[in-house]
Structure 1
Amino acid sequence: MRKNFTLYWPSFVDVELCKDLGIITMIFSKYLNYNSSILCNKNQENYDEVTKENITMIYAVDDVIINNALENTDVLLLIGYYDFNLRMIEKYKSINPKGKIYLKLDLNIHWLRRIVLGKENTDLLNQCTLISVECKNLKKTLHENWPVKIEYIPNGYYNAGITRNIEYKEKENTIITVGRLGTYEKATEVLLEAFKLAAPKLLNWKLKLIGSIEPYFQAYIDNFIETNPELKDQIIFTGRINDRKLIEEEYKKAKIFCLTSRCEGFPNVFGEAANKGCYIISSDIDPAWDITDDKKYGSVFPINDHVALANELITVCLNESRLESVCKDIQIYTKENFEWIKLCEKIESFLNENNE
């Protein structure tokens, strides 16, 4: 008999079906033989349950619906150390004491430093069957500071289209980034300033920025291009690409994926880029060390340091043999360690081994 798997995420929107929370929920249904649901607030026109991607949407419009969903849930997935999730642990256990809870912490170091873990919250966390964190460095910090068992489960990739190995000869002299361009966290200006410095040495390279542009950042871009007109043909803004297969094509063609973030959990783009053979250049955020296997398959530069990034871009772009060997090796490493179906099988085995 199929068990019931429910993600509780009040603010769920459709675009999150392609992110970790949607992908895990979908894989538990499609590959691991669960009935998967998402319990969320109403954001549609009707109040019917809607099925998408092997997932039933349940709209939490009243206590009867919520309690009924929880009562029939064998595994409850919660994402993030939020008050609403801590309250949900208590509520779920009062309704369904034998049910299992998987809390995926989705932490970054800044968020972790702000958490003060009192006895009441520690007791709630200890009611979870499985708690995981996405980065090895964070697991080490949690192990030293929290009286709670934490497992390491990184974020990964799930192929929408291209499942074969990518050959280096398919790639172009392109550096890409993917994300919400211009947000403080993403530090897109660091990438642009670094490329400006590196560009005289990278005449046959292009920089492609994929994603929506924050309204206030458009003025920065306009000014940047106006004051650096020689870069106009080397820098491409594609806008947001919603089609997963088109995004995979962009990763496939790029030789380098660059992330300049000031602050991140474990970005989904890391697994997606690495799986397509991209050399990763990232600011010094915890997940950069995981996805590059401690710089075996990429480079890490100091946060906010556009000069260091420019030097790294020059060094890496001009080292064809390194780019080619990493293209092959990072795909092997990523398939082994960051493939979402394997990660979900690991989650399920933790849930089953922690039988209460």
Structure 2
Amino acid sequence: MSKNIAFICSVESYRLSEAHIFKDLCLVPILLGEYLNYDVTIVTTDLNESVLHQTFPSVNFQYIPFEGGFEANMNTYLMQHAQDIDIVFTIGPYPSYLSMLKTYKQYNPNGKIYMKLDVNRFWLGRLLTYAYFEELIQLCDLVTSECEPIQTEINRVLNLDVKLIPNGFYEFFSTGPVSFEEKKNRILTVGRLDAPEKQIKLAVKAFLAAELTDWEFRLVGPMSDVFRRDLQEILEGNPFAAQVIILGPIYDKHLLEQEYRQAKIFCLTSTVECYAHVFAEAAKNGCYIISTNVDGASDITQNQRFGKIHPTYDWENIGLELKKAATQEELLADTCGALQKFARSELNWRFIVKKIASFLDEEALK
């Protein structure tokens, strides 16, 4: 008899974009199901089924109406189907999950709940003051944090056993190790470039201040026309402006992979992150990482062994660090080999889900 995993969405995150299909919130239950040979269903209101089935044809989608109350509709669904669900996957300790998980446990006491926290330090600070938070995670059979400081703080304050599961990378196609000789004098950043928390304007200022005559700063990701004009104003008249390459979004996975493979340095200047997925992508491709002090930065750089961490908003020192790193060819070459070896053995989602399965005490069906 087959077993079943259901990813149930919260009220707070019921809309799943095409990009979400290839991020942790969908990849974890899907790849866990593949590894265990369990059926997988994504239970929510909004999902592009055609995109889902192009890559994961066996994954099911269960529509839950938003009209009449998503939470109430999800609870009705769980009342009817909890007995058929062996593992419920949830992401983010949102308040609406409390009633849903109580319903699931009421109708299937032997079912297991896995919550991937996906919280940063600022959200955690608020969560620890909310009564529902501890009650919610006490309902779960497995709770995991993406980075060690978050894990340590929750376990200390609430006397729990939250496990450490970092965010990984997903290979759409097989890639071999990157040789340092493949790389060029490039600094790369990837993300929603116009999102205020990404601080891309400060990153550009840092690069310009570094005055690196034979390096490029390559920006990959979507941005508004207004933001693009703002960047052009920053670049106008600067002697290094031509070395800032605004590529926009790259949807072709092979082309995006090449950007990572050819970059020597990956730069992230966000004010807040929860172990950004781009960290694992950069590490897998042997990029030296220069980052602000966001959650996950110390984990991915292994306490600055494979990069440098700076305070948020400190673009002057980030510029100095870019200038310094660009002259340390031996450091960049050593990082290229050692960091990608670590990432390729530890941060592939297909390997990570095996650890999750062991935490859940689940074995693959024959």
CA contact (8 A) 1:38 1:56 kept: yes
CA contact (8 A) 2:142 2:360 kept: yes
Structure 1: state its 5+ residue gaps.
none
Partner of 1:256: 265
Q: Which moved more, 1:262-271 or 1:335-344?
A: 335-344
CA contact (8 A) 2:145 2:164 kept: yes
User: Which of 159, 182, 200 is equivalent to 1:188?
Assistant: 200
Instruction: Report the alpha carbon displacement of residue 286 of structure 1 after superposing the two structures with TM.
Output: 2.5
Structure 2: state its 5+ residue gaps.
66-72
Partner of 1:57: 61
Instruction: Report the alpha carbon displacement of residue 225 of structure 1 after superposing the two structures with TM.
Output: 2.2
Instruction: Report the alpha carbon displacement of residue 266 of structure 1 after superposing the two structures with TM.
Output: 1.1
Partner of 1:246: 255
Instruction: Report the alpha carbon displacement of residue 6 of structure 1 after superposing the two structures with TM.
Output: 1.1
Partner of 2:284: 275
Change in CA separation of 1:69 and 1:171 when aligned onto 2, cut-off 3 Å: farther
Separation (CA, whole Å) in 2 of partners of 1:103 and 1:44: 24
Separation (CA, whole Å) in 2 of partners of 1:195 and 1:119: 45
Amino acid at match of 1:231: F
Amino acid at match of 2:197: E
Amino acid at match of 1:221: L
> In structure 2, the residue corresponding to 1:175 is in which secondary structure?
strand
Amino acid at match of 1:60: I
Instruction: Report the alpha carbon displacement of residue 118 of structure 1 after superposing the two structures with TM.
Output: 5.3
Separation (CA, whole Å) in 2 of partners of 1:189 and 1:210: 14
Instruction: Report the alpha carbon displacement of residue 263 of structure 1 after superposing the two structures with TM.
Output: 0.4
> In structure 2, the residue corresponding to 1:207 is in which secondary structure?
strand
Partner of 2:2: 2
Work out whether 1:340 is the aligned partner of 2:349: yes
Separation (CA, whole Å) in 1 of partners of 2:48 and 2:305: 46
User: Which of 301, 307, 332 is equivalent to 1:298?
Assistant: 307
Separation (CA, whole Å) in 2 of partners of 1:121 and 1:209: 38
Q: Deviations over 1:173-211 (max 9, x none)?
A: 110000001212111111111011002xx1110000000
User: Which of 185, 188, 208 is equivalent to 1:176?
Assistant: 188
Q: How does 1:32-181 map to 2 (within 5 A)?
A: 32-43=36-47, 53=56, 54-61=58-65, 65=77, 67-117=79-129, 121-181=133-193
> In structure 2, the residue corresponding to 1:280 is in which secondary structure?
strand
Separation (CA, whole Å) in 1 of partners of 2:340 and 2:104: 40
Amino acid at match of 1:106: D
Separation (CA, whole Å) in 1 of partners of 2:135 and 2:297: 32
Instruction: Report the alpha carbon displacement of residue 2 of structure 1 after superposing the two structures with TM.
Output: 3.1
Partner of 1:232: 241
TM-score, structure 2 normalization? 0.89
Separation (CA, whole Å) in 2 of partners of 1:206 and 1:325: 21
Q: How does 1:22-33 map to 2 (within 5 A)?
A: 22-33=26-37
Instruction: Report the alpha carbon displacement of residue 113 of structure 1 after superposing the two structures with TM.
Output: 0.7
Partner of 1:218: 228
Runs of 4+ in structure 1 off by over 3 angstroms are 42-46, 49-52, 62-71, 116-121
Instruction: Report the alpha carbon displacement of residue 52 of structure 1 after superposing the two structures with TM.
Output: 5.3
Change in CA separation of 1:127 and 1:247 when aligned onto 2, cut-off 3 Å: same
> In structure 2, the residue corresponding to 1:165 is in which secondary structure?
coil
Partner of 1:287: 296
CA contact (8 A) 2:213 2:240 kept: no
Q: Which moved more, 1:84-93 or 1:302-311?
A: 84-93
CA contact (8 A) 2:193 2:221 kept: yes
CA RMSD of aligned residues (A): 2.1
User: Which of 274, 288, 299 is equivalent to 1:265?
Assistant: 274
> In structure 1, the residue corresponding to 2:255 is in which secondary structure?
helix
Change in CA separation of 1:278 and 1:121 when aligned onto 2, cut-off 3 Å: closer
CA contact (8 A) 1:60 1:66 kept: no
User: Which of 19, 22, 25 is equivalent to 1:21?
Assistant: 25
Separation (CA, whole Å) in 1 of partners of 2:303 and 2:135: 35
> In structure 2, the residue corresponding to 1:282 is in which secondary structure?
strand
Identity of aligned pairs, percent? 33
Amino acid at match of 2:176: R
Partner of 1:209: 219
